[in-house]
Each structure stands twice: as C-alpha cells, then as structure tokens.
Amino acid sequence: MTTYIIRRLLQAIPTMIGVTIISFFIMQAAPGDPVLLLTFQPGQTAEDRARLRHELCLDRPIPIQYAIWVVGDWTGECSQRGLIRGDFGTSFSERRPVLDMFTERMWNTLQLTIYALIIGGSIGLLLGILSAIQRGSILDNIASFFSVIFDALPAFWFGLLLIMFFSVQLGWFPVGGMV
C-alpha cells in the first residue's frame, strides 16, 4: 500500500507540471496585451508601457516567464513570488492579487456546496430507503432511472437549468447577487 501511495504521488508531479504548462500557454495565447489593458489611459507613453512590461517580467523570453510564474522571481526585479509560494499573481483586469479575489469568493462557494450536499444527500437517502423497502416496484424503477439521468448530467449544465426554471421562469429566487 505504501509503494502504491508513493507511486501515485510521484505520478502527480508530472501531471501538475503539465497542468501549469498548459495553463500558462493558454494565457499566453489569449488575445490582447496585458500591458495595454493596464495602461489604457490617455497620456501613457511607450516608455511607461516598457517600464510596466519590465516590472511584470513580460519582457523576458516565454520559458523564463513560465519559470518566474511557477517558482517566483529569483533576480529581484519582479514582484512575483510564484505559484509554489502561494502567489497566484495580480489580476490584469482588476489590478488586485488573485489570491484575494479567490478568498473573497471562497465562502460563497463553500456555502453553496454544503447546501447542495445536504439537499442532494437527503433526497438520495430518502429515495434509497424507499427503493430498498419497495424493491422491484415502479417507485424503485423510477428512482433508479432518474438517479442515472441526474448522475449523467454535467453539474454546471443542470445548475443552469435549475436557475432558469426557478429564477427566470417561476421568479422564486434571484438570478444572482451573492458576489
């Protein structure tokens, strides 16, 4: 069992490296220039943009930018500490640390997850008990059918359907507003 756990942990290392490489290059392939987004004010000169590009380490080659993004800046010229140290960087659109934006939304996500687990678990337990009591009945077949259907639906898509039905069609709940 110990060798299995060690093997799985060692397999996680190349997986995490692959995920960071793919994430980094997806952001690199995104249209637009982050420096132009940050300096979208009249009166900004090319020197201002070059200074900001240097401060953000965007004037370096792409492999060096990736290393700085993951490990942090070892030269002291940039303010990035790196993913390994828990620094997710600064949002180009909101000009705030990404970790702060993440923690702001974490409580709402946790709250929604707990409510969904309680409601889904209660419904599942009730249907499971009823199906076990009346095994082979029409109720058992219907419960099994809908269990398979709801398990096969992507959660985000089913969530959007529920929002459209209960919020838009019936008007029972607000469409948004937690964040």
Domain parsing of the chain, residue ranges: 2-97, 100-169
* Confidence at 13, pLDDT banded by 50, 70, 90: very high
> Looking at per-residue confidence, does 80 or 16 come out higher?
16
Q: Which residue type does 140 have? A: D
Q: Determine which of 23-32, 59-68, 89-98, 156-165 has the lowest per-residue pLDDT on average.
A: 89-98
Select from 162, 151, 152, 170 the least CA-distant residue to 115. Answer: 162
Query: Are the C-beta atoms of residues 80 and 73 closer than 8 Å to each other?
Result: yes
- Residue 90: count other Cβ atoms within 10 Å of its Cβ: 19
Angstrom distance (rounded) from CA 35 to CA 127? 55
Tell me what the mean pLDDT of segment 62-82 comes to: 78
- The two structure tokens encoding residue 46: 């090319």
Q: Which residues contact 54 (CB under 8 A, 6 or more apart)?
A: 77
> Position of tokens 């309680």?
118
pTM of the model: 0.56
How many residues are present in the chain? 179
pLDDT score recorded for residue 79:
67
pLDDT band at 8 (very low <50, low <70, confident <90, very high): very high
DSSP symbol at 96 = S
State how far the Cα of 13 lies from the Cα of 21, in Å rounded to an integer.
12
Contact 89, 102 (CB under 8 A): no
pLDDT band at 150 (very low <50, low <70, confident <90, very high): confident
Q: What are 119's two structure tokens?
A: 């409601």
Tell whether the model's pLDDT for residue 56 goes beyond 80. no
Q: What is the dihedral of CA 150, 153, 156, 157, to 10 degrees?
A: -110
